[in-house]
């Protein structure tokens, strides 16, 4: 119970300190100047020459998103592998192994789907 009180006091202190800093900056800091150029499309003053469409192919975005997705899944596997022996000692080894098996099934299913849908082909 005392650790919960300490956490609440710390959280209250952090919020009060942050609010105090924001208030202090609003009093002492520079005031923003309004300019009609801020409402324009480009602040540099050049007229718009392009449409709203991007010239970057969608394949780059798809590759980046898939990389991040599979990278995050691999990051989840590392702590599991490190702490698996502790789960075995606690008698929860089979449950944790089945949970990771399901996670790997979803991971491999996504990888097979990605290959079959030709998501990474650039032709």
Closest CA to 62 of 70, 50, 51: 70
- pLDDT score at 61: 84
pLDDT per position in the chain (123 positions), as tens?
788 999 999 999 999 999 999 999 999 988 877 777 666 665 565 666 666 666 777 788 888 888 898 888 889 888 888 999 999 999 998 999 999 999 899 888 988 988 898 887 877
Structure tokens, 78 = 């590392």
- pLDDT score at 11: 95
CA separation for the pair 119, 109 (Å, rounded): 14
CA separation for the pair 69, 28 (Å, rounded): 44
- pLDDT score at 76: 86
pTM of the model: 0.48
Q: Where are the domains of the chain?
A: 1-30, 54-123
- Distances from the Cα of 67 to the Cαs of 41, 60, 72, 100, in angstroms? 33, 11, 9, 20
> Backbone dihedral region of 45: left (phi > 0), alpha (psi from -120 to 50 degrees) or beta?
left
Sign of the torsion formed by the C-alpha atoms of 99, 103, 109 and 115: negative
- pLDDT score at 9: 95
Closest CA to 72 of 110, 18, 119, 98: 110
């Amino acid at each position: 119970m005392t650790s919960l009180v300490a956490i609440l006091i710390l959280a209250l202190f952090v919020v009060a300190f942050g609010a105090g800093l924001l208030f202090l900056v609003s009093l002492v800091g520079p005031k923003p100047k309004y300019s009609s150029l801020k409402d324009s499309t480009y602040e540099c003053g050049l007229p718009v020459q392009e449409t709203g469409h991007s010239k970057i192919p969608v394949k780059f975005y798809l590759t980046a998103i898939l990389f991040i997705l599979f990278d995050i899944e691999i990051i989840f596997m590392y702590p599991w592998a490190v702490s698996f022996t502790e789960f075995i000692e606690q008698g929860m080894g089979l449950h944790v192994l089945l949970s990771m098996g399901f996670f790997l099934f979803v991971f491999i299913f996504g990888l097979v789907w990605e290959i079959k849908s030709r998501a990474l082909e650039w032709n």
